[in-house]
A = this chain, B = another copy of it.
């Protein structure tokens, strides 16, 4: 990645911020639970954490938001570190394609989810953590706090409760998994964990810090080896091929970085050995990814010439 001397990252972020916020924000804030719908669509922040130690913030990088599906990367990390390749007996690593036929796919593949970053796969991963962690919710939260080196990170109990009250599709998925014997623990217990992991709130800075291991051969900001270098690479491969629902191909194509998005409007992406970048803007495009975030990341990789391809 070659950045000419006179072009500072700070300047690049500023320019992108201006360009993106001058676009009409045609996205819509997720509204399926009241807690998400309350967030103003005006927020927009970008935080760049370079592996060399320099960090760059632009816009709204201190406001916490619901990380939602981004949490799937963290739970996958714990399960993969604990179980190694045995995990792949219960969940596959292939792109899923069509989000609209979630349960169809699960049925056709007899209860083996296509990958750990779609809901069905993440629910299987959650089941693994409920089985192996002593105090599942507490231990998982601690893992995320340590990753981000920030002990203030927390669940949002209201969001978790709301998801529980309205998450019928996730109940359908968990029960279908259970009918295929791919869930060891009771549905209620697994989903309680799952809804909590999704409800974690972090800001752009915390997320960028927490994703350092994937860009740094498995080593966290605090230099803990939370996964092996090989496992970090594998998680990156999964993010690239499966991190953006039905837009995975488009993202690989337009941005060219491994990453993960969440319905709360966050996106984290990374270039191995170089950087982690997090964007947050709550209004989503029709595929469920942050509208401003996708624009910003496309511009960033183009301007810094930093695709993996």
Contacts and interface: CB of A to CB of B under 8 A. Distances in A.
Nearest to A115: B249
Interface string A220-248: 00000000000011101110111000111
Interface in A98-138: 98, 100-108, 114-115
Nearest to A171: B175
Interface in A269-309: 272, 307-309
A210 interface: no
B187 A176 contact: no
A187 B188 CA distance: 14
Contacts of A92: 249
A103 B173 CA distance: 10
Interface stretch (A59-67, A143-151, A198-206, A252-260): A252-260
Nearest to A178: B168
Secondary structure at the A interface, as helix, strand, loop or mixed, is helix
B249 A241 contact: yes
Number of chain copies forming the complex: 4
Contacts of A233: 256, 307, 309
Interface of A: 92-98, 100-108, 114-115, 168-169, 171-173, 175-176, 178-179, 187, 232-234, 236-238, 240-242, 246-250, 252-253, 256, 258, 272, 307-309
A253 B93 contact: yes
Contact of A104 (B103, B175, B272): B103
B103 A107 contact: yes
- Of A104, A173, A308, A309, most buried by chain B (CB within 10 Å of CB) is A309
Nearest to A100: B107
Contacts of A246: 94
A253 B307 CA distance: 18
Nearest to A230: B302
3 closest residue pairs by CB, A with B: A95-B95, A104-B104, A236-B309
Contacts of A178: 168, 171
B100 A97 contact: no
Given A100-B107, A256-B237, A249 B95 contact: yes
A233 B101 CA distance: 30
A253 B117 CA distance: 14
A256 B95 CA distance: 15
A115 B246 CA distance: 13
